[in-house]
Amino acid sequence: MSETAEKLLNPRPESLVDIPTHFCPGCHHGIVHRLVAEAIDHFGLREKAIGVACVGCSVFLYNYLNTDVVEAPHGRAPAVATGLRRALPDRLIYTYQGDGDLAAIGTSEIIHAANRGEPITVVFVNNTTYGMTGGQMAPTTLLGQKTTTSPYGRDFHQAGYPIKMAEFLAPLEGVAFSARGAVDRVANLKRTRKLIFRAFEVQVQRLGFGFVEVLSACPTNWGMTPIEAAKRVEEEMIPYFPLGIFKERKEADHL
């Protein structure tokens, strides 16, 4: 008689806490959390990792990631991470930030942390809206997109253009890695997994600042079903926010 053993092909990463999610159905935050947890496990650094949670739906990272976490004020996670980095030079320091947090109120902190080449990893979740506060316009809101504070659709005459953070940060000397991925379908998810791993790896190798933007669905505030929302990522977001690597440094070069 042959033995049949059940084998879990994708066991829960150790860096992910085993609790039910509270995120809305179809929200991509949970998927991104898992990829971050897998990356931390991959480098075997769970017990040496400190996360910085920001303000937004993304703050609840602290419930799901099984690492030490400190909460930062809205937009200030890269500054908090800088303080941690200087205090704990051999630890793994990462931030997890939404688009309002990183690309609006926190632009000063992100630019200067990147420019200093802080060896930290920043995971940037772009869902083109302010999730937690109820779907207002974000700096990443697409032209024509209706939100509660752009009820007629975002108009560049009035509100400027959606900001492309991964491209924007890439040219800074301190940035070792800058890329954009999506998790709307399996092929993209697999590629994004690699991007997130790489954004952590450049920190481990002390090459500089690691940045990865992930296009993410917010079905609740987009007024869509989870499937429609994933489709919107592909049909509306990716054409404007192209996926790919915008900067990759292979070795430390000190000018």
Partner 1 sequence: MKKKLVKGNEALAQAAIEAGCRFYFGYPITPQNDIPEYLAREFPKLGGTFLQAESEIGSINMVLGASAAGMRAMTSSSGPGISLMQEGLSYLAGSEIPAVVVNVQRSGPGLGGISPSQGDYFQATRGGGHGDYRTPVLAPASVQEMWDLTFLAFDLADRYRNPVVILADAMLGQMKEPLEMRKPELPPLPAKDWILEGCQGRDKRLLKSLYLGEGELEKHCWRLWAKYEEIKKKEVRCEAYRIEDAELVVVAFGSPARIAKGAIMEAREQGLKVGLLRPITLYPYPEKELADLADQGKTFLVTELNVGQMVEDVRMAAGRRAEVHFYGRPPGAGSLPSPEDILHEIRETYPAR
Q: Footprint of partner 1 on this chain (CB under 8 A)? A: 46-50, 52-53, 59, 62, 66-73, 76, 79-88, 91-92, 108-109, 111-112
In the bound state with partner 1, the residue whose beta carbon lies nearer, of 70 and 224, is 70
Report helix, strand and coil shares of the chain as percent, to nearest 5.
Answer: 40, 20, 40
**With binding defined as CB under 6 A, does residue 110 bind ligand TPP?**
no
* β partners of residue 96: 53, 123
Contact partner at residue 87 from ligand TPP, partner 1, ligand SF4, none, CB < 5 to 8 Å by partner kind: partner 1
Contact partner at residue 101 from partner 1, ligand SF4, ligand TPP, none, CB < 5 to 8 Å by partner kind: ligand TPP
Q: Which residue in the set 15, 58, 95, 203 belongs to the binding site for ligand TPP (CB under 6 A)?
A: 58
In the bound state with partner 1, the residue whose beta carbon lies nearer, of 211 and 241, is 211
Q: Are the C-beta atoms of residues 15 and 47 closer than 8 Å to each other?
A: no
In the bound state with ligand SF4, the residue whose beta carbon lies nearer, of 106 and 210, is 106
Question: What span, in angstroms and rounded, lies between the C-alpha atoms of 217 and 228?
Answer: 9
In the bound state with partner 1, the residue whose beta carbon lies nearer, of 107 and 245, is 107
Provide Rg for the chain, Cα atoms: 18
Longest dimension (CA), the chain: 73
Contact partner at residue 53 from partner 1, ligand TPP, ligand SF4, none, CB < 5 to 8 Å by partner kind: partner 1
E strand spans, the chain? 49-53, 68-71, 92-98, 121-126, 129-130, 136-137, 175-182, 209-215, 244-248
Question: What span, in angstroms and rounded, lies between the C-alpha atoms of 178 and 78?
Answer: 15
| Choices 79-87, 156-164, 187-195, 216-224 (CB under 6 A): range interacting with ligand SF4 | 216-224
CA 3 distance to own-chain centroid: 43
Contact partner at residue 133 from ligand SF4, partner 1, ligand TPP, none, CB < 5 to 8 Å by partner kind: ligand TPP
Which helix (H) or strand (E) covers residue 147, if one does?
none
Provide the binding-site residues for ligand TPP, judged by CB under 6 A.
55-58, 74, 98-101, 125, 127, 130-133, 138
List interacting residues with ligand SF4 (CB under 6 A).
23-24, 27, 29, 57, 127, 131-132, 218-221
